[in-house]
Amino acid sequence: MPRSNLTPRLGVPLLPAAILACATAAGAVEPTLFELVINGESFTVEANRVLELTSRRDPEVKYQVALRIAPTQRIRLNAVQFDYDRLCEVRDDRGREQRTVRIEHELGFTMLVTDLGATPLSEETQKEALKLLVDSVVANVRQQQPADLEVGQPRSCRFRGASGRSVTIHYRDAQDLGRTYYVYVLSGARFAVSCVVQYVDNDLEDVRELIGQILNSFAPVR
């Protein structure tokens, strides 16, 4: 079979070791001050407080306002955007051609999302991309000398705004904890994305909905 030109497109950012090096923390410190514009006037307000603002144009005009940080946040990459729980820590490598984000939630899951561009992948390209990514994840797991390593067969999957293929990987770590990876390659309207989800099996009930929130929110950047 001729050598594919897919590898340069997917590139090193798909490798777990490379993704873990992402260093820009987008969610490490939450903002507390915001600029609010009312009728063309700008006010600096503090979050999570009810405030009375006085118009500088007309001191007789008062505004009662309250602003809080929404429990669901949104990140826009180069071609794809998605929503996530605000308790996630988000690290963005800000790549120009291929942008990778690492999401880690305090309840115990991590997700590595790589924006593969604005062109949806064909079925054949999805298969090839998934194999490259699964091989990379399995090689990384084998370095940990896992027990009972199981790699599932590729299967089709569909979410609200994207569809593609996925593989499930199970193993037991050095502490005899069951761990699971879900590896996805997805396409939607005007985007393609790869996604690697990892969690401890005992945490599944805590993280299932949070993971589903992200997967179902993939959409083209608006």
- Secondary structure of the chain in the HEC alphabet? CCCCCHHHHHCHHHCHHHHCCCCEECCCCCCCEEEEEECCEEEEEECCEEEEEECCCCCCCEEEEEECCCCEEEEECCCEEEEEECCEEEEECCCCCCEEEEEEECCCEEEEEEECCCCCCCHHHHHHHHHHHHHHHHHHHHCCCCEEEEECCCEEEECCCEEEEEEEEEEECCCCCEEEEEEEEEEECCEEEEEEEEEEHHHHHHHHHHHHHHHCCCEECC
Rg value, the chain, Cα: 21
Q: What is the pLDDT of residue 96?
A: 78
Q: What is the pLDDT of residue 69?
A: 86
Q: For residues 219 and 213, what is the distance between their CA atoms, to the nearest angstrom?
A: 12
| Residue 29 pLDDT level (bands cut at 50, 70, 90) | low
Nearest partner of 159 among 216, 102, 74, judged by Cα: 216
Predicted model pTM: 0.81
Cβ-Cβ contacts under 8 Å for 27 (sequence gap 6 or more): 73, 86, 88, 89, 90
95-152 tens-digit pLDDT: 877 899 999 999 999 999 999 999 999 999 999 999 999 999 999 999 999 999 999 9
Quick check: 137 and 122 in contact, CB under 8 A?
A: no
| Residue 189 pLDDT level (bands cut at 50, 70, 90) | very high
57-67 tens-digit pLDDT: 999 999 999 98
Domain spans in the chain, listed from the N-terminal domain onward: 13-27+70-220, 33-67
Q: For residues 178 and 143, what is the distance between their CA atoms, to the nearest angstrom?
A: 16
Q: What is the CATH number of domain 13-27+70-220?
A: 3.40.1000.10
* Beta strands 80-85 and 72-76, pairing class: antiparallel
